[in-house]
A and B are shown apart, each in its own frame.
Chain A
């Protein structure tokens, strides 16, 4: 049975377990029809031209894990930003882990999607926001069909949430292969501010496929800073779908740090529904071996006087492959738009490759839009400079790569987060150079 058939059958099993007589289930059934109809995307689809899913779809994934698994905090502590106080929403093999989590209902809701989907007190928020910005294409629809669990974060107006919120998904490897479909909703009301860190982490080498969907609503003057840490094991793959709806004067930034995993596809979509909105999309990708990372971004400028800033840096070694496909769409009404996009890449080996494609569709006539992509090697004269100071090849290379990616880190607002990313980079580059990168 191929994965699609298996998912169709699993959906029938799901229908035996959940309340099918609910508006949520109507949305699920509708989404399942879309997926049944379209199936998984293939290289024939323009948006998937450089990312082939067939190698990761061939495993016999379990859709619902057979048992609940527990893990001890000390064994996974290193995956948390643990040197500061945070809220934590933690899942183990898709199931909520209360003993690793720290949720709250004190003035804000930092809790579970399963609760929000089922309890009457969340009904209004779910009605207003759930599945309202997520796309209706096949892979997102597949997630919608199985939407049950994930993070639910609702910040009412005028709240500055002091502690960052960490959302962590662990896979224990108790199943030979496992497909996860977490579904999260973040609603940030007027004048509120929240910082969120998301990470998917597999604890063994058993294959894992995560198809994650997160919807984020930033209402008037809200500020949302979202960090995605992608440093998973070599058999873990991730299709990460994020949809962001911004209202006027809101600021949303998403930083994506892609250092590990077998295949990563980031679908990151911003919709600017209001004036004077600011959207920031930044990423650092450092991969090697036969890893693959694909950043597929969309910024839709719908109204006037808004800005978007995209800055993605990629370093590709061995036979790794990268894709950057950045689409900026400026509506006719969206005058005075400032949209910037940069994608800079370094190829360390002859067999590494990157496909980069800026895609600008501009229908307004008074806008500032720029894009630039570069593909290069490490600068030989810079290498010579460092080596002439006594710094060996490997360390010199690491310093230059770090310098290359550095400006993406400048906008990271949580110092401990920045430190953590620096450490992962140093580890990734295999260096210990006398100071923390």
Chain B
């Protein structure tokens, strides 16, 4: 699904990713953990195509195709989805209208006609139910005045609507209480299949109790310095990151 080879990226000439290697196969869940400032969110943004980062080396292959030259919307059309840590507020554009636009633009890119209105409504209703989203919520302006939990739930709702091949969840657990966390994780688990893959970026092991990863990677100073199974997350929760920093610096 996704293959990242020796990826290097910088912003304003400051190197942030310093040679990342990662392979994610269809059907897998990968967790990326690591201390603040290690480059986790940068990795997510670079895969999604954020233009302010400059890729200085290596490549990103999505289903074998190098996506480096593709704009963020083109990557989205190929099935990349990023759940944002800080979703942006769009006053005057309802959740429903926003999703209609996003879905129909993706269809347009694939040479398909707009989704018929009744089909769209049915899809929205079905996915809203999955994330226990109230119908009234859908007519509110996108992210405007949403609580932290509502924003994250709405991100996963968008993921459910867009049915990406590769979903990257960037600190989707931050700001969530335990009930919201359960709903969000439940949504992600239901959307998971053998044909798609999920990368979960998190500080805490807590989310990984709900979305159980196949692999856990530790990112530190722009590199993946340790990889393991789900038990690595428990070890990190218990011992913190200092022992890894020591190992790296030794």
Q: Least Cβ distance of B178 to chain A in Å?
A: 27
Q: Which of B45, B48, B81, B90 contacts A399 (CB 8 A)?
A: B90
The residues of A that contact B75 with a CB separation of less than 8 Å are 388
Contacts of B109 in A (CB 8 A): 390
**Are the C-beta atoms of A390 and B91 separated by less than 8 Å?**
no
Residues of B within 8 A of A399 (CB): 90, 93, 98, 101
Asked whether any CB of chain B lies closer than 8 Å to the CB of A391, the reply is: yes
A284 CB, nearest partner CB in chain B, Å: 12
Cβ-neighbour of A389 out of B45, B51, B71, B158 (below 8 A): B158
Contact in complex: B114, A387 (CB < 8 Å): no
**A386, A390, A403: the one within 8 Å of B92 (CB):** A403
Residues of A within 8 A of B158 (CB): 389
* B39 interface contact, C-beta 8 A: no
Choose among A381, A389, A407 the residue with the greatest number of B CB atoms under 10 Å from its CB: A389
**B234 at the A interface (CB under 8 A):** no
For the A-B complex, the count of residue pairs with Cβ-Cβ distances under 8 Å equals 86
Q: How far is it, in angstroms, between the C-alpha of A382 and the C-alpha of B98 when the chains are bound?
A: 14
A384 contact set on B, CB distance < 8 A = 45, 48, 50-51, 72
Contact indicator A403/B90 (Cβ below 8 Å): yes
B100 within 8 A of A: yes
Question: Bound complex: CA of A388 vs CA of B51, how far in Å?
Answer: 11
Which residues of B have CB within 8 Å of A386? Answer: 88, 90
Evaluate contact between A395 and B105: CB separation under 8 angstroms.
yes
Q: What residues of A have a CB within 8 angstroms of the CB of B105 in the complex?
A: 390-392, 395, 433-434
Q: How far is the CB of B10 from chain A (nearest CB, A)?
A: 17
A385 within 8 A of B: yes
Chain A residues numbered 387-418 whose CB sits less than 8 Å from any CB in chain B = 387-393, 395-396, 399-400, 402-403, 406-407, 409
Shortest C-beta distance, A419 to chain B (Å), equals: 13
Q: Which of B198-222 contact A (CB under 8 A)?
A: none
Q: Which residues of B contact A382 (CB under 8 A)?
A: 88, 90
Residues on B with C-beta less than 8 A from A435 are: 97, 100-101
CA distance A434 to B100 in the complex (A): 7
B87: Cβ under 8 A from any A Cβ: yes
A382 and chain B: residue at smallest CB distance? B88
When the two chains form their complex, are residues B162 and A390 in contact, meaning their CB atoms are under 8 A apart? yes
> Is B49 in contact with A389, judged by CB distance below 8 angstroms?
no
Cα–Cα, bound, A406→B92 (Å) = 6
Query: How far apart sit A384 and B105, CA to CA, in the bound complex (Å)?
Result: 15
Q: Which partner residue on chain A sits nearest B48 by CB separation?
A: A388
Q: How far is the CA of A388 from the CA of B106 in the complex (A)?
A: 11
Q: Is the CB–CB distance between A387 and B72 below 8 Å?
A: yes
B88 A390 Cβ-Cβ under 8 A: no
Q: A403-B90, A434-B105 are in contact. Are A387 and B71 (CB under 8 A)?
A: yes
Q: How far is the CB of A51 from chain B (nearest CB, A)?
A: 30
List, sorted by A's number, 21 A–B pairs whose CB atoms are closer than 8 Å: A379-B88, A382-B88, A384-B50, A387-B49, A387-B72, A388-B76, A388-B82, A389-B73, A389-B76, A389-B162, A390-B73, A390-B102, A390-B105, A391-B102, A392-B105, A399-B90, A399-B101, A400-B90, A406-B92, A407-B91, A409-B92
Residues on A facing B (Cβ under 8 Å): 379-382, 384-393, 395-396, 399-400, 402-403, 406-407, 409, 433-435
Known: A388-B49, A406-B92. 6 other contacts (CB 8 A): A384-B72, A388-B73, A390-B105, A393-B71, A399-B93, A403-B90
